[in-house]
Amino acid sequence: MKHLFHIAALAIAALLLTACPDPEPGPDVPDGPDDSWKKQASTEKLSGITYQLNVYSFADSDGDGWGDIKGITQHLDYLDSLGATALWLSPIHEAMSYHGYNVNDYTSVSSKLGTEADLKDLITKARARNIAIYLDFVLNHSGSDNEWFKAAKADPTGPYHDYYVFSDNPTADMASGKIDNFAGATTPGMGSWFTFSGGDIGYKGRLHFKVDMGAHTVTVTQTADAVQNPNTSNPQCWLWCGGFSQHVGLYTTGTNVYEITIDVNTDWGFLVCTSTSWASGTKWGGNGKGLTFGVPYPLNNTTAADITFGGDASWYFASFDASMPDLNYGPYDKASESPAFKALASAADKWIKMGIGGLRLDAVIWIYQNQTAANVEFLRQWYDRCNSTWKSNGGQGDFYMVGEAWDEVPKVAPYFEGLPSIFNFSYWWTVKDRINKGRGDDFAATVKGFRDRFAGYRPDYIDAIKLSNHDEDRVGNDFGRDVAKEKLAAAVLLTSPGKPFVYQGEELGYWGNKGKGDEYVRTPIKWTRSGSVPSTSLGGKVDNTMLTAEISVEAQESDPASVLRVYRNFAKARNAWKALAKGEITPVTSPNSAVALWKMSYEDQTVLVAHNFGNGSAAFAVTGYTTDKMIVSNGMADGSTGLLSLGPYASAVFLQ
Ligand code: MG
């Protein structure tokens, strides 16, 4: 096998070398799957290319407007052509939203996306092409429709209550350190406390309301007096109450005093408003405690919790929104003993035993808010548990797991003590910044600096590098739809050390602004010139001005100057040349401030990587390196005369 590989590698080298120098992207990618060149140099976990896809919008096999798992299986040729060694699937479980990040059942496959049989089939067929499947696993929170959460709310003494973060008095409980998620912080780093309704906090019957906005109190009394119609003549104060779902105007009966008698039927209580617009500061509520009939109840317009009848309201915490209650793992040093940890680990076991190759963990810096050491220890326990299942199930090497720690490198690096791989957001921010500034000469040293810092926490760290993802503006947006810059960013990503992630649609040069709505950065793949895209899952929120015939896969496959061809060519080079895939980066001094230069070496192989981040041409000799054997290029690139010559935003890799 080794001998055959050697011959294959030489053949590739000959093919590539005879095609250069070439002002156009490199040689054509063979039709269909062809492993003669692919995935020889890279290994999936360490340096292979991972394609990040949104299952709900990647490819729709059954025409229901939702992308699905079968759609992925049907497009394995395409993923193969991008050199993918793994696929990161957006959450596949039953969930409350199309994106899947508010999970109702971690052991299920969403019926909108397919079946367990579909997933098994994808795992099997992808594995046959040396492509692993990574699932997105959400540990910070579940969906509020999850049966665990429903049971937890219904029974404070039941087995599910400890799965979530509850409090009857959040301010006091946070300050006292009683809540493990906060470690004594008096305000959340992100997120809010939400009240929730129970059967005993509503009321059905006739009540008299007296609001005193001088004293900021409301006094509610049970009464047999006649019901009044709401005041519709310029009221200054209103009630908002379950049962009538509209603002009810009160009558002015004194200075800052407003009253009314009405029949109510509410399962959650009521609020007082000084405007019908719900503008900030005009909603007045309570403090989470239930009122007592006949006793003035203090109003406030800051927490403005629902004013409940009888029983006290309780609160739950959510870092993101009310539909995503945070899970509670108790004291971090004993997290693995918590019931929530055990339940989630049991669910993860199911998928690992089915044959997935890794997990991507969402929002890992929010599990214990602003507590890096606690999160790291939690993640170490989680990883060890999953890796143990992986190994006992016959997995090769260690299980792959990557965490989303959305921050700058200095804050992210310690997470490598908990997980083998972490997304490197600073990498993309640096690529973006330097390309937009036209400055390349400090790029390699910056990347090396990131890696040195990671190595300080974990010698065998796996640097998960990326451009944009499903939560960020598209690369196209960040570069003002400048296709030359987009191609350069692709070439930089696929010639950098680490494990590159390519996000669905980046390879086609998509643009999209997250500010317009998340859906606009999660656009489906347009496969053919004339075909439509599955947009039901996105509520039809797709930018049809972008989804032209020319941006389709069909059109870009036949266009040697397309963004797609740059991705394919550089993926091919990465998978064929071990120095490019597995080499460590060594900065090379650049005589031109716009040009990034670095060396990559692995075993007996060395390559010189050159990218022009500027919009002008550059030409110079690189002392100590040869430029006559070009492996892959993009844009105007030549080294055959002894000078390294790069056109605007051009890239080239030279074998030493
Ligand atoms: Mg479908």
**528 and 602 both lie in a single domain:** no
Least confident of 26-40, 111-125, 421-435, 616-630: 26-40
Element holding 651 (H helix, E strand): strand 651-655
**466 and 393 both lie in a single domain:** yes
**81 and 214 both lie in a single domain:** no
| Mean predicted confidence (pLDDT) in 139-154 | 95
CA–centroid distance, 252 to ligand 1, in Å, is 57
Tell whether the model's pLDDT for residue 311 goes beyond 80. Answer: no
CA–centroid distance, 63 to ligand 1, in Å, is 5
CA–centroid distance, 60 to ligand 1, in Å, is 4
| Mean predicted confidence (pLDDT) in 330-350 | 98
**170 and 221 both lie in a single domain:** yes
What residues does the ion ligand 1 have nearby, CB within 5 Å? 60, 62, 64, 66, 68
Tell whether the model's pLDDT for residue 520 goes beyond 90. Answer: yes
With beta carbons less than 8 A apart as the criterion, state whether 91 and 138 touch. Answer: yes
Q: Is residue 299 part of a domain?
A: yes
Least confident of 155-164, 299-308, 341-350: 299-308
Count the domains in the chain. Answer: 3
In this prediction, residue 168 carries a pLDDT of 83
CA atoms of 332 and 183, how far apart (whole Å): 10
Band of residue 648 on the pLDDT scale cut at 50, 70, 90: very high
**549 and 594 both lie in a single domain:** no
Task: Examine the residue annotation and report whether 321 is marked as an active-site residue of this protein.
Answer: no
CA atoms of 558 and 529, how far apart (whole Å): 11
SS3 call for 298: strand
Tell whether the model's pLDDT for residue 288 goes beyond 80. Answer: no
Q: Is residue 31 part of a domain?
A: no
Tell whether the model's pLDDT for residue 623 goes beyond 70. Answer: yes
Q: Measured between alpha carbons, how far is residue 621 from residues 236, 624, 631, 642 in Å?
A: 79, 9, 18, 7
In this prediction, residue 301 carries a pLDDT of 87
The domain boundary residue, chosen from 278, 294, 318:
318
**380 and 256 both lie in a single domain:** no
Band of residue 157 on the pLDDT scale cut at 50, 70, 90: confident
In this prediction, residue 27 carries a pLDDT of 38
Q: Is residue 498 part of a domain?
A: yes
CA–centroid distance, 226 to ligand 1, in Å, is 57
CA–centroid distance, 55 to ligand 1, in Å, is 9
Nearest one of 179, 210, 156, 198 to 312, comparing CA atoms: 198
Band of residue 121 on the pLDDT scale cut at 50, 70, 90: very high
Q: Does 203 or 500 have the greater pLDDT score?
A: 500
- pLDDT tens, residue by residue, 542-597: 999 999 999 999 999 999 999 999 999 999 999 999 999 999 999 999 999 999 99
Half-sphere exposure of 306 (CA within 13 A, CB side): 25
Query: Which CATH number does the domain housing residue 588 bear?
Result: 2.60.40.1180
CA–centroid distance, 67 to ligand 1, in Å, is 5
- Amino acid identity of residue 213, one-letter, is M
The domain boundary residue, chosen from 578, 600, 630:
578
In this prediction, residue 11 carries a pLDDT of 39
Tell whether the model's pLDDT for residue 248 goes beyond 50. Answer: yes
Q: Does 281 or 52 have the greater pLDDT score?
A: 52
455 Cβ contact list (under 8 Å, min separation 6):
461
The domain boundary residue, chosen from 578, 593, 614:
578
Q: Measured between alpha carbons, how far is residue 619 from residues 373, 483, 488 in Å?
A: 49, 23, 18
CA atoms of 423 and 67, how far apart (whole Å): 25
In this prediction, residue 570 carries a pLDDT of 96
In this prediction, residue 36 carries a pLDDT of 53
- Amino acid identity of residue 443, one-letter, is F
Residue 191 region, left (φ>0) first, then alpha (ψ -120 to 50), else beta?
A: left
In this prediction, residue 38 carries a pLDDT of 64
CA atoms of 62 and 77, how far apart (whole Å): 19
Whole domain around residue 293: which residue ranges? 147-318
Q: Catalytic: which of 118, 259, 362, 472?
A: 362
Tell whether the model's pLDDT for residue 17 goes beyond 90. Answer: no
CA angle 364/366/372 to nearest 5° reads 75
Element holding 32 (H helix, E strand): none
**73 and 157 both lie in a single domain:** no
What mean pLDDT value characterizes the chain?
Answer: 91
**463 and 560 both lie in a single domain:** yes
In this prediction, residue 25 carries a pLDDT of 37
Q: Is residue 11 part of a domain?
A: no
Q: Catalytic: which of 404, 441, 486, 507?
A: 404
**462 and 555 both lie in a single domain:** yes
Query: Which CATH number does the domain housing residue 463 bear?
Result: 3.20.20.80
> Which H, E and C letters describe 377-421, residue by residue?
HHHHHHHHHHHHHHHHCCCCCCCEEEECCCCCHHHHHHHHHCCCE
Tokens representing 93?
């479980």
- pLDDT tens, residue by residue, 84-100: 999 999 999 999 999 99
CA–centroid distance, 549 to ligand 1, in Å, is 22
CA atoms of 423 and 421, how far apart (whole Å): 7
Query: Which CATH number does the domain housing residue 262 bear?
Result: 2.60.40.10
**410 and 540 both lie in a single domain:** yes
SS3 call for 586: strand
**461 and 598 both lie in a single domain:** no
Task: Examine the residue annotation and report whether 584 is marked as an active-site residue of this protein.
Answer: no
In this prediction, residue 310 carries a pLDDT of 67
In this prediction, residue 242 carries a pLDDT of 66
Using a pLDDT cut of 70, give the percent of the chain over it. 92
CA–centroid distance, 73 to ligand 1, in Å, is 12
Q: Is residue 561 part of a domain?
A: yes
With beta carbons less than 8 A apart as the criterion, state whether 375 and 365 touch. Answer: yes
DSSP designation for 303: S
**247 and 337 both lie in a single domain:** no
